[in-house]
Amino acid sequence: MPQSGPASAEQLRLRALALVKSGAYAEAAETLERSIACDPSAPQAHKLLSALRSELGQIDKSRDAMSAYIALVPEDAKGYVQRGAIHLQLGEFDAAICDYAKAVELAPDNALFHVYLANAYDGAGHFDLALPDYDEAERLAPDNPEVFFERALAYRGQNRYQEALRDVQRVLQLDPANERALRMKRDLSLARHRPSGDPSGSPTTALAEEAARETDAGRLDRALELYSQAIAVAPENAIMWSNRGWVYYLAGSFQEALRDFDRAIELEPVYVQTYTNRGSTYLRLHRLDQALADFQRTTELDNRYAHGYFNAGNVLRAMGRHAEAISSLTRAIELDQSDGDFFMTRGWCFEATSKRNEALADFTKAVQLSPASAAAYVNRGNMLYDMGRFETALRDFSKAIQLDPELAIAFVNRAAALEKLNRAADALADLQRAVALDSEFPFAHVKLSSHYLRRGQLDLAEHHAREAQRLGHPEGKDCLEAVRRARSGPA
């Protein structure tokens, strides 16, 4: 007879925690459900289940689990805050307001709870109701930069640029290196100094806002038309030129994009985003020197702009200048240690310079920061494979496939690890799956040709060698020659 009740529930909770540590969130959630069925009175089980459901993208279930937690611990203000955040994800502004208001009632001296309530009011379009809570947060925490930054965002949304700038300047007094505040200060300065024919609430502003919505919806032709109308009204507005340039970029019209970015820089030579966008355009056109110059210019304008150093490092890597790339990427990481792409890219550079231990450390950090990224596991798996750690590499490739079952390169790389572990049949199945997923993947054909050649299946080996050659892989010709030699037999 199966065990039930608190003892078995605790065992299941411990099992769930172990699964969480291993990254098996779906299995952990199912285990917690079983634990709760045995003992529904444990609040922390519901709270953890809510977090797991959120991580898995199951927002409705996350909300329901947090509601169960609140029912058990109705005096925990943080429970209402967490459920309020879930309501916001679901677009349920009124419900979020109710939860944040309850949190404020339970903990009226918590400044951030007032900020959360104000944000919910603002998101629901009730700025007049939001402002008193922002002001109360300032009274409670006059030295917390987050309070002022959030109110600055709200003021900016109301086109009240002077008040927004005042709050941003207060953030910078408290935290001079705050990258978000530095960026907002530049943007607000541009907004405050728009041409006299473009006041707040003017037709140009309305056109730009509509154009932004059209861009987000993917209606690029309409967005271009609207930005062109805005430029006709305010031809000296650098942001309009920069924004239209970005829409041209999204549409693949790179020369038109460059012309607009050039004009924007003529009008406003210190707007970081325009250099970022122009650099991205140069990169798409493989004009690496010019891309590098623009990305490096962003770091000259803002030496705290982590993505500027990352973008420059990425170009340097593409140019084969790995030592310089590592230096630039290291600076990006010093400024922002939360972006897995920063570590992944530096890992590639370490790998290219045969610094395997450093590469492995960076790939591991990328996995920790981006546990849902199949690419992160593939990169670490590749490094482990190169270091001869085939079993561990196999686990990473398998995890990548679990995260993205249609990632052909993960199957090809796992096949290589399986071959090293003398599991030829499993390796063949993975290679066949890779080709089924992407018949135009030349490297998969190379590997299949080599596999069939070793098995003496020369017709199949030749077929895949020819496919590899057709697709332009440099090893396709070598594979064909190997098949010919095998057909000829010993000399």
How confident is the model over 35-79, as pLDDT tens digits?
999 989 989 889 999 988 887 878 889 999 999 999 999 999 999
Number of Cβ atoms within 10 Å of the Cβ of 221 = 10
User: Is 252 a domain residue?
Assistant: yes
Rounded to an integer, what distance in angstroms lies between the CA atom of residue 7 and that of residue 278? 62
User: Is 248 a domain residue?
Assistant: yes
User: Is 289 a domain residue?
Assistant: yes
244: CATH:
1.25.40.10
Give Cα separations from 318 to 97, 313, 325, 328 (angstroms).
48, 9, 9, 13
What mean pLDDT, rounded, does the chain reach? 89
User: Is 279 a domain residue?
Assistant: yes
Give Cα separations from 103 to 83, 94, 98, 244, 435 (angstroms).
10, 14, 9, 43, 54
**What is the identity of the amino acid at 131?**
L
pLDDT (average), residues 292-310: 91
User: Is 429 a domain residue?
Assistant: no
User: Is 26 a domain residue?
Assistant: no
**What is the identity of the amino acid at 362?**
D
**pLDDT exceeds 90 at position 481:** yes
How confident is the model over 410-419, as pLDDT tens digits?
999 999 999 9
Residue range of the domain that includes 294: 235-302
Q: How many domains does the chain have?
A: 1
CB 440 within 8 A of CB 410: no
Residue that wins the pLDDT comparison between 179 and 202: 179
Q: Look at 25-29, 104-108, 241-245, 455-459 and tell me which has the smallest mean pLDDT.
A: 25-29
Output the pLDDT for position 309. 95
Helix (H) or strand (E) holding 291: helix 288-301
How confident is the model over 142-155, as pLDDT tens digits?
999 999 988 988 88
Helix (H) or strand (E) holding 339: none
User: Is 25 a domain residue?
Assistant: no
Output the pLDDT for position 304. 81
Output the pLDDT for position 199. 44
Output the pLDDT for position 211. 87
Output the pLDDT for position 196. 37
Output the pLDDT for position 198. 46
**pLDDT exceeds 70 at position 355:** yes
User: Is 457 a domain residue?
Assistant: no
pTM: 0.59
Q: Look at 206-210, 390-394, 402-406, 453-457 and tell me which has the smallest mean pLDDT.
A: 206-210
